[in-house]
Chain A
Amino acid sequence: MTQASHLRSRAEALAAAYPPLLASAERLAANVQLGDHGRKRSGAGEAFWQYRQLQTGDDARLIDWRRSARGDEQYIKQREWQIAQSALLWVDQASSMNFASSEGQPTKAERARVIGMAAAVLLVRGGERVALGAVLPPRRGTGQLERIAVALTEDRPDDYGVPDLSPMVPNSRALIVSDFLGDLEPLKRVLTRAAGRGIRGALLQVLDPAEEEFPFRGRTIFESITGGVRHETLRADTLRERYLARLAERKAELADLALSTGWMLGHHHTSENAQSALLWVYQAVQGAR
């Protein structure tokens, strides 16, 4: 990224990737009904909510004269509460996510980006301010979506991602999408801090089917995507049981963490439909409020 030519080629690659990402995210988000997204209570906002009889203590200037002139009662026009909240989004862009066990499947990174982006689209449509990790501060509007899309297309060179919810806007909602295969300590710290600030949210673990099943045999050298971590075995098939035990342990750890901090934990496999994951994410983020 230091050389200009490199920068340009990357920029072009990003620009090429950006519309599809946004488009697929829009498409995904379009499938989620916005019907229950309204705040359903009166408050500061633009849209009409209801007419209410004037009660004691109401400011006289609040009376809606047009409505009150029709009868003897005085009415107040209330608007729907449209307080803008912040949503903190973090999508793992580390190289461990760039993995797909078979040709036809999307990589974990692609799936995580689409889900994260779609969640951002939904939140922005709901009028929320969305922040992307430490990169983009919370803002609203489609401009923010484009910025998020550009930011999401970037890859990180490190093996495993470290979650970052830096703005830590109090009482906001958060979504962390990752495979959670790296060290869990940073995540634990982030979650504890976030819980302390009243941030609730959801963790979505995106895994490849091969990581779930471990269908390997024979003498094998396993390498991380960057090649930084490697493990050699003579008989891969004998490792399977213990691997699966460790994976279950990891998931249990995550579940504990989520439970203790009041977050929600979901699992998603790249072989599954992204739609279901998005629905879960949407419900989880809604429910976390």
Chain B
Amino acid sequence: MTVFGALGFSAPWLLVGLIALPVLWFLLRAVPPAPIRRKFPAVSLLLGLQDDEHQSDKTPWWLLLLRMLAVAAVIIGLAGPVLNPDARQSGRGPILVVLDASWASATDWRARVARLEPMLAEAGRNGRPVAILPLTAPAPVTFADADAVIEGLPGLAPAPWEPRFDVTLPEGDFDTWWLSDGLDYDGRAELVAALSERGNLTVFDTATTPTVLMPPVADGAELTLSAMRLTAGPAQEFTISALGPDPSGVERILGTGAITFEAGEAEASTTIELPSEIRARVTRFSLDGVRSSGAVTLTDDRLQRREVALIDGGRDREALDLLSPLHYLRQALEPTADLLDGGLEDILLANPDTIILADVARLAPQEEAELLEWIDGGGQLVRFAGPRLAASDVSRDSEDPLLPVRLRVGGRSVGGAMSWGDPKTLAPFPEDSPFAGLPLPDDVDVTSQVVAQPDPTLTDRVIASLSDGTPLVTRKAHGAGQIVLFHVTANAEWSTLPLSGLFVQMLERLSISSHTSRPEAAQLAGTTWQPMQVLDGFGRLTSGDALPGVAGEDLFDRPLGPDLRPGLYESEDRRLSRNLIEEDSVLTPAVWPASVSVQPLVAPDAQPLGGVFLTLAALLLAADLIASLIVGGRLRGGAIAAIAACALAFQPDVSRAQEDLLPVAEEEILAAGEVTFANVLTGNQSLDTLSLAAMRGLARTLFERTSVEPSDPRSVDLEEDELSFYPLLYWPITPDQTRPSDAAYARLNEYLRGGGMILFDTRDADTARLGANSPEGAKLRELAAPLDIPPLERIPQDHVLTRAFYLLQDFPGRYNSRDVWVEAAPEDAIQIEGMPFRDLNDGVTPVIVGGNDWASAWAIDDSGYAMRTVGRGYTGERQREMALRFGVNLVMHVLTGNYKSDQVHVPALLDRLGQ
């Protein structure tokens, strides 16, 4: 094969024939077209007329060109041109396959592996040992047989972090194939240099552009989401889905937004507006259709706005704003939380995340009980002390359920004009405190506080204390929630704490407020974060339970790796997400040195073009034929029209496609025109014959006794046949029948919704009480599981089936079991005094389930005789009669619905019932 660019020739020497084309040109020019003989009576007038020039009529140049092109096409076609011919691997020695294996290659990971496999297989056939080095999880490299390596291919997965380049290369020389993800990383150039030294380096670059989604930026109710792609290309549109649990805990798409990359732009952004309740539930945003962890951004507390209710005890007090116990809380919380005001009872109905009681001493017993219930359910009650609390005798002798500690009478004042000592400062927070690691400002001092009674449990409950050891903040758990008490006021009356930044940070730590920006490492110092859910390279969430915790200071500053995966981390009550792509991430396309050969990852398929050229030649020759005829004057308008008509006749017939749209079999038309029953084919030949015969028997009985005159029944294949023509399907269950396909189930559900009825017959006399254990019953459950079937009940005595035509109380078939199940009557159906039956639901029960083997009782042969015996002697015949009556009632119920349920019939029925 000789290759010219992307075009190869299997027989390139034939192309020499092209040189002969000019010769052919002159030859063709010299030969005049053959003369035409014409009858022409007026030839007498022509006699003696001489031609102007002796040269014969020349073949026109365009006709010559046409012929030249045809001949050239033939020559090229025979030379066997192939577009994108398969390149053969060259070289020998071991091959190292370097994979970036990062999240950016996750989008087309399958294609990469699929491409790699034949390449490795070919290397194996050439006897070259290979090894794979994924840069995201580098391991010592040993060259092995290609087959062994191929077996390990499915185990490779992209990692949700950047590749590392400080790898140890194996000894000796080897060729390298590098499957790049298209992104540039630090250290890549060094590795390229190192690999180039050892042998040939071939880079396979991907055609797909990594696209990433940045974390959302909240601005009021709007969320701004930005996306980036590696290279600016044509306009592209993506859908962003906001995913999270719905109120019942099932993960759903909570919102969507469209994001459009303009042509030539590498960045795009969009805004999504979500109600705050829904927004609080969003756990992640993802770019639909991009299968990579770069296209998923996890949300955390930063996105959530907690609902905080503020209640103070001094509502009757007329005071300046700055003295209001809630002023500082409002200031601290307003930017990050939704604040609720109102009475406690109203607020409890709104179920906020946190309720703050500022200097509230006592609550009404009713309120207290409700509040406790709310805390039990996970609410957080934060209380601030104050003059009222200090003055009251709440939690004096015994611990108040709404306070974490017992309080001493009166509290204390330090550093005031009337007291000894200086104002107290804060002691460093203990390790196990939620405030651990927060820096202590110098200017926070406390002049008054309520003091906790020493108690055995007190030490456990203190989470912040003053420099002299008296508790400043205490808390206790209660149910799923907790109660926190600040022993100072929420305003600056007793301490300067509310004036300092520490106050805000403490509220954050208590997750009363939430950060809108990423916390600094210093703020997170001392905390440990347990991964809750982590992302894999494909952007799928997996549980992080098995992974070790991460120190707070590392959470955002360490590069991602196996020990720090992108995901959702939890500490105390707070959740933070570490995302692969942060606001400041940039995507840089990889640049390869000129010495490295870069190939597309997926080579276009080799396309033999010989046929194309030969077809072209044939078409040109056909055109030449017509053109020659025209030039020679042998072709007139009519003939041209005929040729055009022929050409049109070879057009693909489009209209036929339309006819195929609705293939309706003739028997289906018949079935639709009449009342036709059908049995479902089970694949059991004898049972199917019996079922069809049963349908025939039922049809004959109806024909003889009622005004229903059914046509011949049919057997339907659930996979193929249209069901909507049949009012009743008889479906006998065998343990070994195959489960219908999903499409068939969709049609069955459509059929049931459209008012069809299926009579399921387990044919086991219901010995096992609706299939508890019989194989048919189990099969029935398996078959009916995907069906849209309402709740069932045993046929009640007043069901319309008992009186649709005959008055029946049994529904025997070959067996006589009472257990026949129909759609349950609505709960509220009541029997009116004096009426024999309830005013029941409209409509037809979509299924009847039983095991009486009705088919055996109904089936008749061609002569009209019963095919199976039922019971013995007269009793048996009576049972068959009852079975047929049940069939009649069944069909009447199917066809007339609840007609007989109408109370109008009551007098007549009462009369017949002999009451």
Contacts and interface: CB of A to CB of B under 8 A. Distances in A.
A216 B37 CA distance: 11
Interface string B376-395: 00000000000000000000
A185 interface: no
A209 to B, nearest CB: 12
Interface in A215-238: 216-225, 229-236, 238
Nearest to A216: B633
A227 B56 CA distance: 24
Q: Name the prevailing secondary structure of the A interface residues.
A: mixed
Interface residues of A, number: 37
Interface string B50-62: 0111111100000
Interface string A226-262: 0001111111101100110011001000000000000
Interface in A192-221: 208, 210-211, 214, 216-221
Contact of A223 (B38, B51, B56): B38
Contacts of B43: 222-224, 229-231
B57 A221 contact: no
A243 B46 contact: yes
Given A216-B633, A219-B34, A181 B39 contact: no
A159 to B, nearest CB: 8
Contacts of A214: 42
A210 B46 CA distance: 14
Given A179-B41, A225-B41, A220 B56 contact: no
A96 interface: yes
A183 to B, nearest CB: 8
Question: Which of B32, B40, B43, B51 has the most A CB atoms < 10 Å from its CB?
Answer: B40
Nearest to A212: B42
A51 interface: no
B56 A222 contact: no
A20 interface: no
Contact of A232 (B33, B35, B42): B35
Contacts of A246: 45-46, 49
A219 B57 contact: yes
A265 interface: no
Interface residues of B, number: 27
Q: Name the prevailing secondary structure of the B interface residues.
A: loop
Contact of B49 (A216, A223, A242): A242
A67 to B, nearest CB: 62
Interface string B262-300: 000000000000000000000000000000000000000
B37 A234 contact: no
Contacts of A243: 42, 45-46, 49
A96 B39 CA distance: 10
A181 B33 CA distance: 30
Contacts of B40: 99, 210-211, 222-224
B633 A236 contact: yes
A182 interface: yes
A259 B806 CA distance: 113
Contacts of A90: none
A108 B41 CA distance: 10
B632 interface: yes
Given A181-B45, A234-B56, A243-B49, A222 B633 contact: no
B49 A231 contact: yes
Contacts of B34: 219
A224 B38 CA distance: 8
Contacts of A96: 41
A97 interface: yes
Question: Which of A108, A220, A223, A243 has the most B CB atoms < 10 Å from its CB?
Answer: A220
B33 A235 contact: no
B633 A218 contact: yes
Contacts of A224: 39-41, 43-44
Nearest to A245: B45
A246 B44 CA distance: 10
A188 to B, nearest CB: 16
Contacts of B47: 229, 231
A250 B45 contact: yes
A38 B886 CA distance: 103
Contacts of A225: 39, 41
Contact of B41 (A99, A218, A230): A99
B39 A223 contact: yes
A99 B40 CA distance: 8
A160 interface: yes
Nearest to A224: B43
Interface string A83-127: 000000000000011010000000010000000000000000000
B42 A233 contact: no
B633 A217 contact: yes
Contact of B633 (A210, A220, A242): A220
B29 to A, nearest CB: 15
Contact of B36 (A160, A219, A230, A247): A219
Given A217-B633, A218-B633, A221-B35, A211 B49 contact: no
Contact of A229 (B44, B632, B633): B44
Contact of A247 (B42, B51, B54, B631): B42
A243 B43 CA distance: 9
Question: Which of B33, B36, B632 has the most A CB atoms < 10 Å from its CB?
Answer: B36
Nearest to A219: B35
A233 B33 CA distance: 12
Contacts of A223: 37-40, 43
A91 to B, nearest CB: 16
A133 B831 CA distance: 119
Contact of A218 (B33, B46, B51): B33
A240 B45 CA distance: 11
A86 B36 CA distance: 48
Contacts of B39: 99, 223-225
Contact of A234 (B32, B38, B46): B32
A106 to B, nearest CB: 14
A211 B41 contact: yes
A148 to B, nearest CB: 24
B46 A97 contact: no
Nearest to A94: B41
B558 to A, nearest CB: 89
A239 B56 contact: no
A250 B42 CA distance: 11
A180 B504 CA distance: 123
A97 B39 CA distance: 12
A246 B48 CA distance: 11
Contacts of B35: 218-221, 232
Nearest to B41: A96
Contacts of A217: 631-633
A28 B528 CA distance: 118
Nearest to B32: A219
Given A219-B56, A238-B51, A211 B44 contact: no
B632 A218 contact: yes
A221 B37 contact: yes
A235 B52 contact: yes
Contact of A182 (B37, B44, B54, B633): B44
Nearest to A232: B35
Contacts of A160: 44
Contacts of A236: 633
A250 B57 CA distance: 29
A222 B38 contact: yes
20 contacts: A108-B41, A181-B44, A211-B41, A216-B38, A218-B33, A218-B36, A218-B57, A219-B33, A220-B37, A222-B38, A222-B43, A223-B39, A224-B44, A225-B39, A229-B44, A232-B35, A235-B52, A242-B49, A243-B45, A246-B49
Given A219-B632, A233-B49, 17 more contacts: A181-B44, A182-B44, A211-B41, A216-B633, A219-B36, A221-B36, A221-B38, A223-B37, A223-B38, A229-B47, A231-B47, A232-B35, A234-B55, A235-B56, A239-B49, A243-B49, A246-B45
Interface of B: 32-47, 49, 51-57, 631-633
When A and B form their complex, which 7 residue pairs have the shortest distance between CB atoms, in order from nearest?
A96-B41, A217-B633, A219-B35, A218-B633, A222-B40, A222-B43, A211-B42
